[in-house]
A = this chain, B = another copy of it.
Amino acid sequence: MMRTRPLKVALLGCGVVGSEVARIMTTHADDLAARIGAPVELAGVAVRRPDRVREGIDPALVTTDATALVKRGDIDVVVEVIGGIEPARTLITTAMEHGASVVSANKALLAQDGPALHAVAAGQGRDLYYEAAVAGAIPLIRPLRESLAGDKVNRVLGIVNGTTNFILDAMDSTGAGYQEALDEATALGYAEADPTADVEGFDAAAKAAILAGIAFHTRVRLDDVHREGMTEVTAADFASAKEMGCTIKLLAICERAADGASVTARVHPAMIPLSHPLANVRGAYNAVFVEAEAAGQLMFYGPGAGGAPTASAVLGDLVAVCRNRLGGGRGPGESAYAALPVSPMGEVVTRYHISLDVADKPGVLAQVATVFAEHGVSIDTVRQSGKDGEASLVVVTHRASDAALGGTVEALRKLDTVRGVASIMRVEGE
């Protein structure tokens, strides 16, 4: 029962991901048609540089006028792989207003304007899918939104940025410093010329906002996500981590508070035990741990970026959206009914690993321990090592709030005997 009129797809952007989407739509056209129940046809490709040769794409389909393309009215699905906020936001909105459903890979836009875009989709009765926006090829948004729809997600803990994982993995395995590992990542094409979005955690923070929103049925704005990059992680931090049986990962962590009444979302480097499955995620791979009340601990692992993996996620969404158009249904829209408050970082409770440079004289440990006690931060272990009148103290705490830890560190800095706070790192996944 194959419908004969093809579904028309407009592609916005034809870079690494877009060209792969176009290629698969052509080479696997029969499979896609069988799975959808109707053929899909590439009806237009909007690009910035029309003169560039695009293998396998009919030049007649290429246009620089993306706005005209999404306004055509005969487009069933718009696939947006431009990235960035504008013109993507206006194009997606216009596309839905002109009757198209949308598949996007745009994490920055979804993190910033997800609610507004979902409102347009709902108002127009269109689908807005974006599996490719988080963790590339790894099915994550659909499992969270649909497979776990009958469960209560309490925690999402993941490596969602391949560039930083590549750098941290290199630092861990070679003992290299940050700059050296970044240079290697850049040379190998794992890091962009300007790596800011990755290494400062902006990319991961956008993904954390999207994941927290879906997991907790609550709007989580990008500003709600506490963000720390990984540019200050040192070889010494890795050495300390190793002594604790840990490694260091840049983690996106979305948590429901113990009382269930609020949630938090944050991105920062953290020590994680080598026995934790996330510790073994190598290179540019991504992996996300999900803890749900009934399901228990789940993990999703795979390539978090790249043309073909991202195209796989885009095409999975394309098939779903096309099926919905044929069947008359719509996929799940925004679910923000829980509307839980998003707590600031100060209320996050976790463990800390703190390295202090201190004077090597009697009573220092007592002073330091007193400061922790005064701020209600309980110490788990202390390791002291001295050389040439200087000493270092490594303190690992029990679970404490970030605010209490912050107060502790501020007070420690004021001690005459504390020459410096060498590093503060959270310990997760225990």
Contacts and interface: CB of A to CB of B under 8 A. Distances in A.
A389 interface: no
Given A147-B313, A316-B151, A139 B294 contact: no
Interface in A294-319: 294-303, 306, 308-309, 311-319
A116 B150 CA distance: 28
A35 B335 contact: yes
Interface string A271-304: 0000001001000000000001111111111110
B309 A295 contact: yes
A294 B17 CA distance: 11
The complex is assembled from copies of this chain, and their number is 2
A152 B28 contact: yes
Interface string A132-155: 000001110011001111111000
Interface stretch (A42-50, A62-70, A324-332, A393-401): A324-332
Contact of A292 (B31, B312, B327): B312
Contacts of A277: 277, 280, 301
A311 B294 contact: yes
Contacts of A301: 277, 298-301
Nearest to A137: B295
A142 B139 CA distance: 9
Counting chain B CB atoms within 10 Å of each CB, the highest count among A31, A148, A293, A294 belongs to A294
A320 interface: yes
A285 to B, nearest CB: 9
Given A308-B296, A316-B146, A316-B147, A217 B35 contact: yes
Contacts of A32: 150
A24 B151 CA distance: 8
A149 B34 contact: no
A296 B302 contact: yes
A313 B295 contact: yes
A131 interface: yes
A419 interface: no
A8 interface: no
A321 B68 CA distance: 38
Interface in A64-115: none
B323 A309 contact: no
A226 to B, nearest CB: 26
A32 to B, nearest CB: 6
Contacts of A20: 294
Contacts of A320: 146, 149
Contacts of A292: 137, 312
B299 A302 contact: yes
Contacts of A298: 137-139, 300-302
Contacts of A302: 295-299
A418 B302 CA distance: 45
A414 B421 CA distance: 74
Nearest to A318: B150
B303 A152 contact: no
Contacts of A31: 152, 217, 338
A217 B34 contact: yes
Contact of A327 (B137, B138, B296, B329): B329
A210 to B, nearest CB: 16
A320 B309 CA distance: 26
12 contacts: A32-B150, A137-B294, A139-B143, A142-B146, A149-B316, A150-B318, A294-B311, A295-B303, A295-B313, A298-B300, A298-B302, A329-B330
Q: Which 10 pairs between the two chains have the least Cβ-Cβ distance?
A: A329-B329, A150-B315, A139-B147, A137-B295, A139-B143, A149-B319, A294-B312, A295-B312, A298-B302, A299-B301
Given A137-B298, A139-B298, 6 more contacts: A149-B315, A150-B316, A292-B312, A296-B302, A297-B302, A300-B301
Interface of A: 20, 24, 28, 31-32, 34-35, 131, 137-139, 142-143, 146-152, 217, 277, 280, 292-303, 306, 308-309, 311-320, 323-324, 327-330, 332, 335, 337-338
